[in-house]
Amino acid sequence: MSVYVDQPVHRFRHMLMCHMLADSPEELHAMADRIGMARKWYQRDASTPHYDVPSEKRAAAIAAGAVEVDRRGMVAVIRRIRASSLASPDGGVWGRDRRQTAATGGPPQHLGTQRTSLDTGAMDDDYCPSS
């Protein structure tokens, strides 16, 4: 099991952003905690749950063991996550994570105006993971 980051190509304000995904929610949140990402930046309601990560945090994730993947590699990860969710009636570990983060007062998703390629919603206006 692993955590994956793609190339930082998405602009958000003064930052260049990438996506961080993992084989399991536990790994994804553990890496986010390790590199200092706030849980409010977790995109749980996106088509594929992920964190949008600024390039500075991406470097920290790679140093902590995240695997760099190209676009095709990220598509393969997304397909695995979606397949595992569809294979279980309750959505598997990702479905349980969505329900748990929603039930524990996780932040509402898609509040602002910036969109990413993995997400049809947007990030909130105070989104600034590098601070």
pLDDT digits (tens, 9 = 90+) for 66-91: 999 999 999 999 999 898 888 778 77
Any idea which residue has 């084989």 for tokens? 23
Angle formed by the axes of helices 92-103 and 71-86, to 10°? 80
pTM to 2 decimal places: 0.73
Asked if residues 67 and 5 have their Cβ atoms less than 8 Å apart, the reply is yes
Domain ranges of the chain: 3-105
Supply 76's token pair: 């393969």
pLDDT digits (tens, 9 = 90+) for 31-58: 999 999 998 889 888 888 999 999 899 9
